Amino acid sequence: MNFKENKAIYLQIADRLCNEILLEQYKEEERVPSVREYAAVVEVNFNTVMRSYDYLQSQGIIYNKRGIGYFVSTGAKQHIHSFQKENFMQNELTGFFRQLDLLQIPLSEITVLYNEYKKQQSLNSRSNETDN
């Protein structure tokens, strides 16, 4: 995993796991990889992943069944979606809008690119469905 310097690694790992839950790689009430397994996947010390799991547990995203492992909480997907949407709207858009303004990029150009992106995602989704 490639980490960014402006955010704590354990939070980046937590974000990755949240994205995997949103993509339904791990469904509600389903077990997630152990701390050691996930540490091997993201190539970090297991203590860093443990910190990520502790954080996600404190947020109600995952829970621990002692001796069995960590599981995705009921309602986690909705909770993640709400939290990430609010965070994006409050923190990310300001910088995005600043760049649009500095580079004098009209919103109409962004709309065209966004529509192309959505169209491509739809095509990719249909292609994946026919492959399965």
pLDDT per residue as tens digits for the range 13-55:
999 999 999 999 999 999 999 999 999 999 999 999 999 999 9
For residue 129, pLDDT over 80 is answered with no
Kindly report the pTM of this predicted structure.
0.77
What's the chain's average pLDDT? Answer: 93
Distance CA 3, CA 42 (A): 10
For residue 123, pLDDT over 70 is answered with yes
Q: How many CA atoms lie within 13 A of 76 on its CB side?
A: 31
User: Alpha carbon of 63 to those of 18, 25, 28, 29, 105: distances in Å?
Assistant: 13, 17, 11, 9, 44
Confidence of residue 5 (pLDDT cuts 50, 70, 90): confident
Question: Which pLDDT belongs to residue 132?
Answer: 59
